[in-house]
Every structure is written in structure tokens, then in C-alpha cells.
Chains A and B, each alone.
Chain A
Amino acid sequence: MPAGRRQDALYWCGVLLVAGWGLVQLAPILWMISTSLKPLREVFALPIQWVPRPPQWANYPEAWNHFPFARYFANSFIVSASVTVLNVLLAGMAGYSLAKYRYFGQRALFIAVLSTLMLPIEVLMVPTFLIVKSLGWLNTYQGLVIPVVADAFGIFLMRQYLLSLPDSLVEAARIDGAGELGTYFRIVVPLSWPAVLTLAIFTWRETWDAFVWPFIIITDDSLRTVPIGLQRFQEQYVTTYNSVMAISTVAMIPMVLLFFFFQRAFIRGIALSGLKE
């Protein structure tokens, strides 16, 4: 086979492979949307009917009004936004300090931060719960937000990115008269925009989908987040999966929009901070 045709064949094999993998990834989402439009009795019908006939659009308002989901979504927004802003702020500053400053115990501190990545949530759950309880934060927003705002992954991500930022860009701001915070917010943050946005997306997604921690500390219905609200559809004898999927589909929309918007900002950030020393 001539080299050109062999390259073409390889290219199309690659396209097929990627498309196949894309379909595998997409299948659960399609199934979720499909199920959200089915009557309950058809949810587990085999063979799977991917396009429900007729689509049950009424599932959406029904699920939405069955429990106070407007409230749950508002809670999820408040918690996710707070955790994202605080995590980006704290992890960014901690990462900056670990990447650009030299001080006693810095390496030990970094290793200590990294080592917390090895601890699974099951190990941390009980002590964290006891601390939060002793602070009187059960069934509060601060109980949902504060324990998760500083995580080692964010610090690690920001530190690694900021290591690639030339020191001279920071030093130039310092000698021009900028203080610590001025240098950080006016020079470092705009130049680490891709890392900031990546961390923001990761943090938002993780908090938006978080189940275990909110489930442990929230019993007050007015403070439920969406994942905890979804759990209310699970009753003793029946789970209305079509309603669960309808709300899950709605819950996915902010994530999709966020990713769509941030992706453009992300690319622009990379283009603007094309760093080279």
C-alpha cells in the first residue's frame, strides 16, 4: 500500500476509534435524557427504547414541583460558587507561595499538603464531622463550604503551573512598586488564567455533584443541595427514576454552560499568557 494511502487508512482508523469511544462516553448521558422522557413503567423495558414515543415532557414540571427543587438548586449554586471562589483564592495563594518564595520548612509543608491527597474521605469524615459539630455548623452553609475550600489538589495544580511562570515577571512588578497582593492579583492571576479556570471548573463540578459530605451534615430540608434532593425520590417501595433523570438532566445544564463558556476563556487565557523566558 502506498505511504499516502496507508496514512489515510490510519487516520480514519483513529477517527473511528475516537468516535466509538465518544459514543461509549455519551451513552449514559443519552440514556439519562431518554429515561427522563419515559413513563416510569418503560424505564427498564428491554430492548432499550432510546427515543421515547411519545416523549413525556410532563415529567420535568412534575419532578421539579414534587419537591422544592428551586430551593435545592439555589443551595447548590450558593455552595458551589462559595467553594469555587474560596478554593481558587486559597489554593492560588498557597500554590504561589510554594512556587515563588523560599522559606524555612517550605518543602516539608509541600510534602505535608501533598500527603493529604492520600487520605480518602472515609478517613476524614468522622473527625471532620466532629469538628463541624463542635463549631455548631451542622445544617449551615458554612458547614457545607468551609471544610472543603482548601484542597491539596488545587494547591498542587496552582504550584505546578506557577513554577513555569518566569520569576522575572513577578520581580518586575515588585521593583515597579507593587506589593504582595498587587503583584498577585494584577500579574500572577492574569498570567495563570488557564490554571485558575481549570481549577474553577474542577472545583465547581466536584462541589455541584458532592453527595457524601452534604448527606452527612444536612438534615434540614431547606439546606439540601440537588444531589441530596434527588435522594428524596428514593422511597421505600419505588424510586421514580424518570423524575431522578429529569432533575439530573436539568442539573447538568449549568455544568455544560460553564464548561462551554470557560473553554473559550481558557483558550484565550493560554493565547494571552504564552509565556517564554
Chain B
Amino acid sequence: MAEIRLAHVSKRYGQAVALRDVTLVVRHGELLALLGPSGCGKTTALQIIAGFLVPDEGEVWAGDRLISSPRAVLPPERRRMSLVFQSYALWPHMTVFQNIAFGLELRRLPRDEIARRVAWILEVVNLGGLGNRYPHELSGGQQQRVALARALVVQPDTLLLDEPLSNLDAHLREQMRFEIRRIHTETGITTVYVTHDQAEAMVIADRIAVMNAGRIEQVGTPPEIYDAPQSHFVASFIGQANCLPGTLVGPALVRCGGLQLRAADCRAFRPGDDVVLCVRPPAVRVRRTAGAAAGDNLTVGRLVQRAYLGDLEDLRIALPGGVVVRAFVPAGQRYEPGEELLVELPADACRLVRP
């Protein structure tokens, strides 16, 4: 059983708090992404799981084994974990074969078994025939695959990945997302994947834990995180969102500046609460004011800026009260800056979150 459990884990570096009371469960066999901006504590959390850092408070469990607490830490080499580093950390004085075989040699496997396993993992990561190369003779993508192969070949209970794609170019990064997902599906190893790239997390992860300022803001599947963000931070960090601060004035009714808007669900709040109303730009409907009809969440705005995105146009529209919202509309509408437009923020797409 390789379920990883962090219970009330905190970590400080001097005065700076890296992790605050983090509680998280990584289920057996799942791929969980720790997602957040730089400095949010995600790498610290990974280093604590790996055993390179000691938590100041809280405990880390692997199945029924307590592996980290402020009093005792199981050393990294005894955790049955593998780690893929952001820099890959391939040993430059060893060939690809030697890099991958290192962990197997330490486990005292017979020579022919080592050769068989290395050959197998090189096929899994599509690097067959490159065993005799040195790391500096490989491209970035190939180095990344070697790092992955080295981590997987020892068949760890848990695989940890620390921003493994951040050194690759955009095209290769996109390709490798699917590759990592494929390998995870094939091996079924419990995996913790640290990234700051929300698109990467959405493609790769079974579940995402969004982190901010040392805390976990929300944990959920990619659709849950995208469609039902629970905080202002999650809504704005995952995809684009129009986040309008306001006050709940009635059942599902929010006053945002000069606007009164209806939201989909307000069960978590009481009238008088400060809330943030979030609506994704693709959900915002825009049309010309001619023939306009009154209705819920409907208002007239002035187009401030327009950006061409190929198949879409990104519009910035100023609403009454100074609120500016973004809307993605199909390209070819030929709206002009300064033009008055009718803007609808559909109630079923408006979600209320904590400020």
C-alpha cells in the first residue's frame, strides 16, 4: 500500500513560513499534482515527502509507516520512493545504462536481471539503443526520459516528480505530458507531481492540490477545480476568470460595484457576506446593443481592448461602476474599441467563492 498522507505538516525557514498546517492524502495508484505559483511551498512539500527536509510540525505517513515527523525521519534511501528532479540530476560521469542501473546495483540484483530491466525501461521511455551514450550527448527531452527511466526502473512504491518538464521547449513539453500520463497508466505507481503550469496539471493529474502561500487551497479532479473553484485564488490561478468582489445581498444575489448579479449557488454564504463572483471569459456572452432586451445579469458595457487569438477574440469590456470583464468570443465579429456592447454574465456560470 503506497498511500501517502500528510497530517498538519508545517515548515519554516527562519521567519519565512513555507508550509502551514498542510493535510493531504495521495491515494494509492493515483497521480496527484501539487500546483501553485513559485514560492507556494509545493517543492518543500515534495522534499518533506522524499525525506530531504524534516517537518517542524505534523507527520507524513506512507501506508501504515510513519516516515517523517519532527522527532524522527526515515532516510530517503529507505522510503521506497523515486524522485525526478527539475534539473534531471543525471550523473554526468555515467552512461545512460549506468545511470539507470545504479539503483538496481545497490539492490544487488544479478547482472543479467539488471541488463534485462534496463532494456525494458529504455523501451518504455522510447530510448532503446541509447544505453551507451553519456548524458551530455542527449537532447533535453532524452535526458528527461532517462531521469524518468532511472526513477521507474527500481519499481518504487511512490514516484515524485519536481517540475520535470520545465526545462523543455513548449512543443516537447506538451508531448511529454501525454507521455508521462501514458507511463503512469502503464505502471500505476502512486505519483506526486509538482508543477506551476496549470495546463500541465490538468492534462496529467487524476487530482490536483492547488497551493498558495504554504496552504492547500483546494483539492479535486481537474474538472472540479476548473468548474467549481472554492477560492478567489483557485479561480484566478486555474484558467482565466473574471473575479468581481461584492457583497451577498439576497438569495444568490450579489452587488458588485454598480451591478446586481445573480449567481448559480450561494449555499456556502449568508446575506451580508463579502464574496467574489467568478465567471470564466468563454461563458460571458456579448452581442451588439441593437435589439437589446432587459434580463438577469445583463448590462451594457464599452469595449476597451480587443486581442486576436486566432479562432477567438479576447475582449476587455468596461461595465458600469468601473468593473472590467474579459470575454472570449468567436473571431470575426468585428467589434471595435469604444463600441457599446450588451454583456451577459449567465447566472449558471457565475460562481461565488471566498475572497
Q: Which residues of A contact B (CB under 8 A)?
A: 166, 168-169, 171-179, 182, 186-187, 190-191, 272-275, 277
Q: Is the pair A272, B83 in contact by a Cβ cutoff of 8 Å?
A: no
B74-106 interface mask toward A, CB cutoff 8 Å, 1 = contact, 0 = none? Answer: 011101011101110111110000000011001
Dominant secondary structure at the A interface: helix
Distance (Å) between the CB of B91 and the closest chain A CB? 6
Q: Is the pair A275, B87 in contact by a Cβ cutoff of 8 Å?
A: no
Q: Is the pair B87, A277 in contact by a Cβ cutoff of 8 Å?
A: yes
Q: List 12 A-B contacts (CB under 8 A).
A: A166-B87, A174-B52, A175-B51, A176-B106, A176-B154, A177-B106, A177-B154, A179-B77, A182-B106, A190-B93, A272-B93, A275-B92
Chain A residues, CB < 8 A from B87: 166, 168, 277
Most B C-beta atoms less than 10 A away, residue of A166, A171, A172, A182: A172
Q: Is there a chain A Cβ closer than 8 Å to B116's Cβ?
A: no
Chain B residues, CB < 8 A from A168: 85-87, 89
Q: Which residues of B contact A (CB under 8 A)?
A: 50-52, 75-77, 79, 81-83, 85-87, 89-93, 102-103, 106-107, 136, 150, 154
Q: Is the pair A175, B50 in contact by a Cβ cutoff of 8 Å?
A: yes
A179 to B102, CA, bound (A): 12
When A and B form their complex, which 9 residue pairs have the shortest distance between CB atoms, in order from nearest? A168-B89, A176-B103, A172-B89, A177-B106, A168-B85, A175-B76, A277-B87, A190-B93, A174-B76
B82 nearest in chain A by CB position = A175
Dominant secondary structure at the B interface: loop
Chain A residues, CB < 8 A from B93: 190-191, 272-273
Q: Is the pair A272, B91 in contact by a Cβ cutoff of 8 Å?
A: no
A275 to B50, CA, bound (A): 24
Q: Is the pair A169, B154 in contact by a Cβ cutoff of 8 Å?
A: no
Distance (Å) between the CB of B93 and the closest chain A CB? 5
Chain B residues, CB < 8 A from A187: 91
Distance (Å) between the CB of B161 and the closest chain A CB? 12
Q: Is the pair B89, A178 in contact by a Cβ cutoff of 8 Å?
A: no
Chain B residues, CB < 8 A from A176: 77, 82, 102-103, 106, 150, 154
Beyond the given A168-B85, A175-B51, A175-B79, please list 13 additional residue pairs across the A-B interface where CB-CB is below 8 A: A168-B87, A168-B89, A171-B50, A171-B89, A172-B89, A174-B75, A175-B50, A175-B83, A177-B77, A177-B154, A178-B106, A274-B92, A277-B87
A168 to B164, CA, bound (A): 13
A275 nearest in chain B by CB position = B92
Distance (Å) between the CB of B262 and the closest chain A CB? 52
Chain A residues, CB < 8 A from B85: 168, 171-172
A190 to B52, CA, bound (A): 23
A177 to B91, CA, bound (A): 15
Q: Is the pair A172, B91 in contact by a Cβ cutoff of 8 Å?
A: yes
A174 to B154, CA, bound (A): 13
Q: Is the pair B81, A175 in contact by a Cβ cutoff of 8 Å?
A: yes
Q: Is the pair B91, A178 in contact by a Cβ cutoff of 8 Å?
A: no
Chain A residues, CB < 8 A from B51: 175
Chain A residues, CB < 8 A from B106: 176-178, 182
Q: Is the pair B91, A169 in contact by a Cβ cutoff of 8 Å?
A: yes
A222 to B93, CA, bound (A): 44
Chain B residues, CB < 8 A from A171: 50, 52, 76, 83, 85, 89
Chain B residues, CB < 8 A from A175: 50-51, 76-77, 79, 81-83
A170 nearest in chain B by CB position = B89
Distance (Å) between the CB of A124 and the closest chain B CB? 38
A174 to B106, CA, bound (A): 11
Chain A residues, CB < 8 A from B79: 175
B156 nearest in chain A by CB position = A175
B153 nearest in chain A by CB position = A176
Most B C-beta atoms less than 10 A away, residue of A169, A177, A190: A177
A177 to B102, CA, bound (A): 9
Distance (Å) between the CB of B63 and the closest chain A CB? 18
Instruction: With A172-B83, A191-B92 as known contacts, state yes or no: A274 contacts B103, CB within 8 Å.
Output: no
Distance (Å) between the CB of B83 and the closest chain A CB? 5
Chain B residues, CB < 8 A from A166: 87, 89
A191 to B106, CA, bound (A): 19
A274 to B81, CA, bound (A): 28
A23 to B51, CA, bound (A): 58
Chain B residues, CB < 8 A from A177: 77, 103, 106-107, 154
Chain B residues, CB < 8 A from A273: 92-93
Most A C-beta atoms less than 10 A away, residue of B89, B102, B150: B89
Distance (Å) between the CB of B156 and the closest chain A CB? 9
A146 to B225, CA, bound (A): 65
A191 nearest in chain B by CB position = B93
A275 to B136, CA, bound (A): 10
Chain B residues, CB < 8 A from A272: 92-93
A210 to B222, CA, bound (A): 70
Distance (Å) between the CB of A101 and the closest chain B CB? 12
B135 nearest in chain A by CB position = A274
Distance (Å) between the CB of B61 and the closest chain A CB? 18
A179 to B75, CA, bound (A): 9
Chain A residues, CB < 8 A from B150: 172, 176
A213 to B87, CA, bound (A): 48
